[in-house]
């Protein structure tokens, strides 16, 4: 079901995605526990749905919680934690907090390169976006 919500996200059907993501999150937390890695991924997915809906404060709050749980449970280097940091930076950018977005991308870049590889698309973006920001180009 979680994969289906990503289809709704891709088609920008955020209302359907939200309903499904909330259901998946509730069931996942009930069965697996709220700190289970899969429940944390579901939280991250919900945050990105909220971002797509323009609910940036809700998105940031949930993503921050997902990062806290992921960092506590898994550490700061697993791909899922790094992706959550990357997504938080995107949310911060859209909130008009470009300085904080740049700081996040710059701080996770070494781990992105080490864990995902220097040529991974997220590593490349984490390196490129701060440079674009200096040139006033939107990511």
Express each pLDDT in 71-112 by its tens digit: 998 888 899 999 999 999 999 999 999 999 999 999 999 999
Q: Measuring CA to CA, which residue among 99, 103, 127 is closest to residue 113?
A: 127
Asked if pLDDT for residue 3 goes beyond 80, the answer is no
Write out the two tokens for 7: 């289809």
Interhelix angle for 98-116 vs 121-134, to 10°? Answer: 150
Q: Measuring CA to CA, which residue among 88, 75, 7 is closest to residue 43?
A: 88
Residue ranges covered by each domain of the chain: 1-74, 76-139
Output the pTM of the full model.
0.83
| Fold of the 1-74 domain | 1.25.40
Write out the two tokens for 81: 């934690």
């Amino acid at each position: 079901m979680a994969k289906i919500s990503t289809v709704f996200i891709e088609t920008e059907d955020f209302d359907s995605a939200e309903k499904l993501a909330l259901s998946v999150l509730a069931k996942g937390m009930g069965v697996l526990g709220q700190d289970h890695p899969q429940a944390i991924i579901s939280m991250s997915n919900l945050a990105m749905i909220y971002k797509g809906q323009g609910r940036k404060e809700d998105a940031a709050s949930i993503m921050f919680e997902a990062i806290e749980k992921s960092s506590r449970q898994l550490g700061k280097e697993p791909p899922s934690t790094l992706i959550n940091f990357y997504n938080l930076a995107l949310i911060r950018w859209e909130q008009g907090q470009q300085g904080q977005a740049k700081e996040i991308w710059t701080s996770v870049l070494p781990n992105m390169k080490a864990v995902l590889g220097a040529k991974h698309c997220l590593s490349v973006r984490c390196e490129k976006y701060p440079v674009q920001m200096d040139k006033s180009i939107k990511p």
